[in-house]
Structure 1
Amino acid sequence: MDKIYIKNFEIFANHGVFSEEKNLGQKFILDIELSLPLEEAGKTENLKKSVHYGELCLGIERVFTEKSYDLIESAAEKIAEFTLTTYPIIKSVKVKLKKPWAPIGRHVDYAAVEIERGWHEAYLSVGSNIGNKEDNLNIAIKMLKETKEVMVEKVSSFIVTEPWGNVDQDEFLNGALMIRTTLSPKYLLDKLLEIEEKMHRVREVKWGPRIIDLDVIFYDDLVLEDDYITIPHPRMEEREFVLKPLSEIAPNKVHPLLNKRIFKMLEELK
């Protein structure tokens, strides 16, 4: 991936745990590395196909100084978030934040943190079988679109499906989304659970009725299993209500464990 670098960008700000740091302020030094495609900008000299790094620096300085942070880790996260959400053309950003006047009591060149954040492609399954199901799905999608760390790229049509697991309930309306997000899998799931909670989802019966159901099916080509989230979503290959709308928006997406495309899994299921 092509790169743009900003090195040794000095900003005076009031970050730190100690009151003296907040009151007196100190110098911070930033190194920024942007990963983005630059071929079109190079061939056409169109600045809109690149990043105006002068404007970016002014924006970073404003974001960096408008609030006092105890930890430089928090300040670095804010810079990365601002950079990615302001310039969606940027695929990822690496932020190195140096603190040359860190109150360590010993001679050091600087203390620093370095983080790398980027946009990720994820696929979600959405479903509802209580109340006005279509309205429920559209409300959830609208809430996702209003999340600054999420860009909704594709939305499938909605399909009526029979309940899975616990069959003694109303039919479901299901769909699928493709999104881009700067959130990690854990924080993406947190956001989905937050939307479900705001829409008053109640979890009483496994596979029971629900006003809204939001699941992460894929996240890049990641394979992950921990106590909080499993990716790809387990048993999704057995569920037509997942595969059918997903096949509409991403038929050639490959399951990273089964090494099969979505349309093929749907054919085999049928």
Structure 2
Amino acid sequence: MNKVYLLIGGNMGDMAASLAIAKKEITKRVGRINLSSSIYKTAAWGLENQPDFLNQVLAVDSDLQAQEILKIILDIECRMGRIREMKNGPRLIDIDILLFNEDIIDEENLKIPHSFLHRRNFTLAPLAEIVPNMVHPVLKKSIMQLLQESQDRLPVQRL
């Protein structure tokens, strides 16, 4: 059984409903959700002139491999109406693989741990809520330590 940590989020439409739909689809198609962080309201990162996001981290047990999960979550995004128009732009739903077991994956279409995991408080805060002592497999620091050392100053509010 693989332990997968996913970040779900969005900043368009009924964001709470989108998170609920994404969770239902993840449960049906990826695996059982064991832990869910609180929902966090977060300022947009990268392209800041847009509405705030709602984000949540999920810990999922899955029989699937990382590339299979990637295909499924991209399909879920597409079916939910995600259109990729601009990098870091507004979106109905976004689902990212943050961590997969303690694996390090460096493939053209998949980087695990997520390349920006340690630089974004909107990812670190909900992850630290559910697994504060988990160690980043590359940086060898706990998620809580990464959050405490983070230089990201954008607001992240637990709802």
TM-score, with structure 1 as normaliser: 0.55
> Alpha-carbon deviations, 1:57-78, whole Å to 9, x = none?
xxxxxxxxxxxxxxxxxxxxxx
Among candidates 86, 92, 115, match of residue 205 of structure 1: 86
Alignment of structure 1 residues 1-270 onto 2, 5 Å: 119-147=1-29, 149-269=30-150
Letter in 1 for 2:103: L
Q: Shift of the alpha carbon at 1:265? A: 0.6
> Alpha-carbon deviations, 1:212-256, whole Å to 9, x = none?
000000001100111120100002101000000111111111000
Runs of 4+ aligned structure 1 residues displaced above 4 Å come to none
Q: Shift of the alpha carbon at 1:144? A: 1.0
Partner-residue secondary structure (3-state), 2:132? coil
Letter in 1 for 2:2: H
Q: Shift of the alpha carbon at 1:159? A: 0.7
Q: Shift of the alpha carbon at 1:168? A: 1.3
Partner-residue secondary structure (3-state), 2:140? coil
Letter in 2 for 1:143: E
Specify which structure has the bigger relative contact order, considering alpha-carbon pairs within 8 angstroms and separated by 6 or more residues. Answer: 2
CA distance in 1, matches of 2:143, 2:75: 28
Partner-residue secondary structure (3-state), 1:146? helix
CA distance in 1, matches of 2:9, 2:139: 24
Q: Specify the alignment match of 1:60 in structure 2.
A: none
CA distance in 2, matches of 1:235, 1:130: 22
Letter in 2 for 1:140: A
Q: Shift of the alpha carbon at 1:143? A: 0.8
CA distance in 2, matches of 1:225, 1:250: 23
Q: Specify the alignment match of 2:155 in structure 1.
A: none
Partner-residue secondary structure (3-state), 2:12? coil
Gaps spanning 5+ residues in structure 2: where? Answer: 152-159
CA distance in 1, matches of 2:66, 2:109: 9
Partner-residue secondary structure (3-state), 2:118? helix
Larger Rg, first or second structure (1 or 2): 1
Q: Shift of the alpha carbon at 1:151? A: 1.1
**Count of residue correspondences:** 151
TM-score, with structure 2 as normaliser: 0.92
CA distance in 2, matches of 1:190, 1:198: 12
> Alpha-carbon deviations, 1:192-211, whole Å to 9, x = none?
00110110100001000000
Letter in 2 for 1:139: I
